Amino acid sequence: MALWERLWNTGKSMVVGHGITIREMLRKPVTVRYPEEKPPFERGSRSVPVLKVNEETGLLNCVSCGLCERSCPPSCIEIVQAVGEDGHRKPWPETFQLDLSHCMVCNLCVEACPFDALEMADVVELSSYQVQDLIFNKEQLAELWKTSRALRVAGGERLDAEEAVAAGTPARP
């Protein structure tokens, strides 16, 4: 009796198993052939800090206070404050350099920024054959911000609570 049961179970499981494999074989592969095809990147993923641009004035939100520079663990941010013709320091950066080859994507600069001038972008295709090409200046960082679709709370499109939940990330206050 047990023998017949075992035989029956063996046969049944083999038929079921082969059915599964042939069905999977006839379905479309899930592989995304990356450089040729792009997978859909999720909204709200974060890659590198980029500089926000104020939509009304077209200027950077950054006032060059240097808090991000100090908070950066690998010291990949370098800010030089602008000095006007009158010899006074001005509230915008002369240079804002971010060395992506050192950046560890920790988000600490964004948290340190009191003026909401930095944001983590979702741009991931930043690889380069030259290390020099990974040092971004402020214009390049502002351009990156424009191409980023990351969640924006101020200075760009504003997501409401439902939209943010739908995107998988709760809206920041």
Partner 1 sequence: MNILLFSILKAAAVVAFLGLNAFVLIWAERKISGYIQRRYGPLRVGGPAGVFQSAADILKLVAKEDFVPGGADKWLWTLAPAVALVPAVLVYLVLPIGRTVVLQNLNIGLVFFASVTSFTLLGIFMAGWGSNNKYSLVGAMRAGAQLFSYEIPLILSTVGVVVATGTLSLQGIVQAQVTHHEWFVFPQILGFIVFYVASLAELNRTPFDLAEAESELIAGYFTEYSGIRWAMFAIAEYSNLFTTSALGVTLFLGGWHGPWLPGWIWFLIKSYVLVFVGIWIRWTLPRVRIDQLMDLGWKFLFPVSVVNVLGTALYLMVR
Q: Residue numbers of the site for partner 1 (CB under 8 A)? A: 14, 17-18, 20-22, 24-31, 33
Least separation in angstroms between residue 12's CB and partner 1 is 14
Pairing between β-strand 89-99 and β-strand 77-83 as defined by DSSP bridges: antiparallel
How many helices, marked H, and strands, marked E, lie in the chain? 5, 5
Choose between 15 and 59: whose C-beta lies nearer to partner 1: 15
Choose between 35 and 87: whose C-beta lies nearer to partner 1: 35
E strand or H helix that includes residue 127: none
CA angle 169, 40, 172 (to 5 degrees): 15
Do 161 and 153 meet the contact criterion of CB atoms below 8 Å apart?
A: no
Choose between 38 and 158: whose C-beta lies nearer to partner 1: 38
**Six token digits for residue 13:** 């499981």
Choose between 25 and 161: whose C-beta lies nearer to partner 1: 25
Q: 124-127 long-range CB contacts below 8 Å, 24 or more apart? A: 124/41, 124/45, 124/47, 126/47, 126/48, 126/100
Choose between 6 and 172: whose C-beta lies nearer to partner 1: 6
Least separation in angstroms between residue 13's CB and partner 1 is 10
**Six token digits for residue 107:** 């988000």
Residue with token string 């599964």: 20
